[in-house]
């Protein structure tokens, strides 16, 4: 493998880590801030509302970690253990409330019922996905420079993916590109099957947001 390929893989995995952190933070906002009044109205009191909101957070975390495991993004059980340690440490360093840290533990444990996906399949799928994303920039002359702010680079990336931001539209465009890519028939079948499997699971948006992050990061090089 070339150094350029290795760098692309590392950049993709870094974008996935950021997308995962963003998703966890977004869940907290959706459930404990924006969704609190609705949960309180449903349960009728603060104690039950807190219990229900934490339970919802646990379930959503399990779904998020579940697709991460199923995708094959983690090369081994050791990598999964390392991720758990990192997430726990980050929550502790951020002085996250004990109830949310406990919910994190529960969500991680629940996700372990989903087997780790095949990492080699994930790598071929992710490589095809990166090539697909790059192909959408053909002829683009508006790419932000290396010194551009993160928000500007994310906005630029979003503008180039806006027409396929919906899951089914993204899937259709990606599958069409893969089938016309000239890859070996077996590789095409493997990538398409993996894509369809991930699309059928909750929280496929994790990889849409990874795509956005990776594309935005490519403008800084």
Task: Inform me whether the pLDDT recorded for 160 exceeds 90.
Answer: no
The pLDDT assigned to 4 comes to 77
- What percent of the chain is modeled with pLDDT above 90? 74
Average pLDDT value for residue range 106-121? 97
Average pLDDT value for residue range 105-119? 97
Query: Which tens digits make up the pLDDT trace of 89-109?
Result: 999 999 999 999 999 999 999
Task: Inform me whether the pLDDT recorded for 140 exceeds 80.
Answer: no
Query: Which tens digits make up the pLDDT trace of 162-194?
Result: 999 999 999 999 999 999 999 999 999 999 999
Nearest-angstrom CA–CA distance, 190 and 124: 8
Residues 6 or more apart whose CB falls under 8 angstroms from that of 127 comprise: 8, 9
The pLDDT assigned to 118 comes to 97
Nearest to 55 by CA among 37, 38, 31: 31
Query: Which tens digits make up the pLDDT trace of 60-74?
Result: 999 999 999 999 999
Residue 15: CB atoms within 10 Å: 22
Task: Inform me whether the pLDDT recorded for 149 exceeds 80.
Answer: yes
Worst-scoring range by mean pLDDT, 14-28, 79-93, 147-161?
147-161
Average per-residue pLDDT in the chain? 92
Average pLDDT value for residue range 184-211? 96
Residues 6 or more apart whose CB falls under 8 angstroms from that of 214 comprise: 11, 12, 15, 130, 133
pTM here? 0.92
The pLDDT assigned to 47 comes to 87
């Amino acid at each position: 493998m070339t150094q350029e390929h290795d760098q692309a893989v590392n950049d993709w995995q870094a974008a996935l880590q950021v997308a995962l952190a963003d998703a966890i933070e977004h869940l907290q906002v959706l459930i404990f801030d924006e969704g609190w009044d609705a949960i309180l109205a449903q349960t009728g009191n603060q104690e039950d509302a807190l219990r229900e909101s934490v339970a919802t957070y646990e379930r959503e975390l399990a779904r998020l970690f579940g697709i991460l495991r199923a995708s094959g993004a983690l090369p081994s059980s050791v990598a999964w253990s390392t991720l758990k340690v990192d997430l726990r440490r980050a929550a502790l360093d951020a002085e996250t409330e004990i109830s949310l840290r406990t919910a994190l533990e529960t969500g991680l444990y629940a996700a372990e019922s989903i087997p780790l996906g095949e990492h080699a399949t994930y790598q071929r799928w992710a490589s095809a996905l990166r090539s697909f994303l790059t192909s959408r920039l053909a002829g683009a002359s508006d790419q932000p420079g290396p010194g551009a702010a993160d928000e500007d680079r994310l906005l630029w990336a979003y503008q180039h993916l806006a027409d396929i931001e919906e899951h089914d539209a993204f899937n259709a465009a990606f599958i069409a590109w893969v089938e016309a890519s000239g890859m070996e028939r077996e590789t095409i079948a493997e990538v398409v099957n993996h894509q369809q499997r991930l699309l059928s699971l909750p929280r496929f948006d994790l990889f849409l947001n990874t795509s956005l992050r990776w594309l935005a990061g490519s403008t800084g090089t």
